[in-house]
Amino acid sequence: MSGILLIEDDDVVRKAISRFLMKEGLNVHTASNGKEAMQNLDEHAYDLIITDLNMPYASGFEVLHKIKHQEKHHHTPVIVITSMASESAITQCYDMGASDFIRKPVMMHELYVRIKKLLGQFA
């Protein structure tokens, strides 16, 4: 397994999610902003990507667009986590190819179950 890329600009949230998922045995790589995420995506392939929407340098929408338009990533499942709760933001994420959407604050066990389902480890 190549691992999960977690893209989150809030240090506390990024560290909390990363620690929880690693404790659950998942291989987690992190990016603290959209620009760093774009560089990681150019260099590595991932099994699953989790991204926030509101980030500096490149938004989650821009990151999602890149993911779904790169050959090595376009089939990679993407979970969007955000405090944006508008129906239009949710619809736009799914229209752009997001696999799932979770509103903040993130419930860790719910995120874990959704990850496992997307990775095909739960029926």
pLDDT of residue 63: 93
Q: Are 79 and 114 in contact (CB under 8 A)?
A: yes
d(C-alpha 43, C-alpha 20), whole Å = 25
Is 38 domain-assigned? Answer: yes
Report pLDDT digits (tens) over 19-33. Answer: 999 999 999 999 999
For residue 113, the domain's CATH number is 3.40.50.2300
For residue 51, what are its two tokens? 């991204």
Q: How confident is the model at residue 122 (pLDDT cuts 50, 70, 90)?
A: low
Q: Are 110 and 92 in contact (CB under 8 A)?
A: no
Is 123 domain-assigned? Answer: no
Is 34 domain-assigned? Answer: yes
d(C-alpha 108, C-alpha 116), whole Å = 12
Q: How confident is the model at residue 121 (pLDDT cuts 50, 70, 90)?
A: confident
Report pLDDT digits (tens) over 11-60. Answer: 999 999 999 999 999 999 999 999 999 999 999 999 999 999 999 888 89
